[in-house]
């Protein structure tokens, strides 16, 4: 199941249902709309039922505070998006890091030595940005710039994660991305409108672009970046890969990724090596 509020839009039941069917499992995966004031009682009920599942907005950070048995990565990020039951209690985990890692690796396939020299600009300072920062750290990226409307929040995130980062105000976005090898949008911009985190013309020609937002087709920003010849992905690969990592955590078997992609009538983007 997936818990959220609202949650009717979630694609997780589609691709997790396909994964369960491909794996020959009779387990069902459903949506459960949980208002914030019902989260405590819902988590307690799921622990008693021995349930497992996912958690989406707006509950990820609240769940991390409520679930006492969190994995190190969930504690690092400060958010839980995956859970299962052990000995009558829930274990909280975060697979958003896995999803971000898979997407960054696809966009910038070099190793740790390359990563250390490649500047990354990250828009946002919330829970999604935290997951991306942990992924960047684990991949070896060291030149990270956070661009945000609230600089104090970004500075606090950098300190909490113990990941050094330069912090710049949103008004300086064009300057921030001037030398970027990778630009990541971890804000809601583009989810319900056609706003761009930064103008495509401000991005370096060989920059890679990652938008955590996903919409039917592509987000307008990613479509424009691809039109300009850039490696660019929306949040669909991250969505599938975080779901695959959750599937593997629940069942300890490889996730049928091909079936998950096919259920959404999509395929992972492929790039020429360069």
DSSP string, 145-184: EEEES-HHHHHHHHHHHT---EEEEGGGHHHHTTT-SEEE
Residue 146 and residue 165 in contact, taking contact as beta carbons nearer than 8 Å: yes
Burial class (CB in 10 A: 0-12, 13-18, 19+), 188: middle
143 in active site? no
Q: Which two tokens stand for residue 87?
A: 């000995």
Strands (E), 223-269: 232-233
| Distance separating alpha carbons of residues 104 and 106, to the nearest angstrom | 5
Looking at the DSSP bridge assignments, the partners of residue 209 are 183, 232
Residue 166's alpha-carbon distances to 53, 126, 154, in angstroms, are 36, 16, 9
Q: Does residue 78 come out as left (phi exceeding 0), alpha (psi in the -120 to 50 range) or beta?
A: left
Q: How confident is the model at residue 263, as a pLDDT?
A: 98
pLDDT in tens, 194-228: 999 999 999 999 999 999 999 888 999 999 999 99
Residue carrying the six token digits 């935290």 = 130
Residue 144: strand, helix, or coil: strand
Residue 78 and residue 159 in contact, taking contact as beta carbons nearer than 8 Å: no
Q: Which two tokens stand for residue 274?
A: 């360069």
In the predicted model, residues of the chain with pLDDT beneath 70 are: 273-274
Q: Over the range 1-24, which residues count as b (16 or more CB within 10 Å of their CB) and which as e? A: bbbbbebeebbbbebbbbbbebee
Q: How confident is the model at residue 273, as a pLDDT?
A: 58
Model confidence pTM above 0.85: yes
| Distance separating alpha carbons of residues 47 and 97, to the nearest angstrom | 24
Could you tell me the domains of the chain? 2-94+237-263 (3.40.50.10860), 97-234 (3.40.50.720)
pLDDT in tens, 249-265: 999 999 999 999 999 99
**Closest to 1 measured CA to CA, from 82, 80, 71, 106:** 82
Instruction: Tell me how many degrees the CA angle 207-210-216 measures, rounded to the nearest 5.
Output: 130
- Of the residues 31, 59, 60, 137, which is catalytic? 60
Q: How confident is the model at residue 28, as a pLDDT?
A: 95
Looking at the DSSP bridge assignments, the partners of residue 86 are 89
């Amino acid at each position: 199941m997936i818990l959220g509020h609202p949650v009717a839009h979630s694609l997780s039941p589609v691709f997790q249902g396909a994964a369960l069917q491909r794996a020959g499992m009779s387990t069902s995966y459903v949506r459960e709309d949980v208002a914030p004031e019902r989260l405590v009682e819902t988590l307690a009920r799921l622990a008693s039922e021995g349930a497992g599942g996912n958690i989406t907005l707006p509950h990820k950070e609240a769940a991390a505070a409520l679930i006492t048995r969190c994995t190190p990565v969930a504690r690092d990020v400060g958010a839980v998006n995956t859970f299962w039951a052990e000995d009558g209690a829930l274990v909280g985990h975060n697979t958003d890091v896995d999803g971000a890692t898979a997407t960054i690796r696809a966009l910038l396939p070099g190793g740790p030595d390359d990563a250390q020299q490649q500047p990354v600009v990250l828009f946002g300072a919330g829970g999604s940005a935290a997951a991306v920062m942990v992924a960047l750290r684990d991949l070896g990226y060291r030149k990270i710039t956070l661009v945000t409307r609230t600089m104090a929040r970004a500075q606090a995130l950098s300190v909490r994660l113990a990941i050094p980062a330069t912090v710049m105000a949103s008004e300086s976005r064009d300057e921030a991305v001037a030398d970027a090898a990778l630009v990541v949008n971890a804000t809601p911009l583009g989810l319900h409108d056609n706003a761009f985190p930064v103008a495509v013309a401000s991005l370096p020609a060989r920059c890679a672009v990652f938008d955590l937002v996903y919409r039917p087709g592509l987000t307008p920003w990613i479509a424009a970046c691809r039109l300009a010849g850039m490696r660019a992905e929306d949040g669909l690969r991250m969505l599938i890969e975080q779901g695959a990592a959750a599937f593997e955590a629940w069942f300890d078997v490889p996730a049928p990724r091909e079936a998950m992609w096919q259920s959404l009538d999509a395929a992972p983007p492929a790039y020429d090596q360069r």
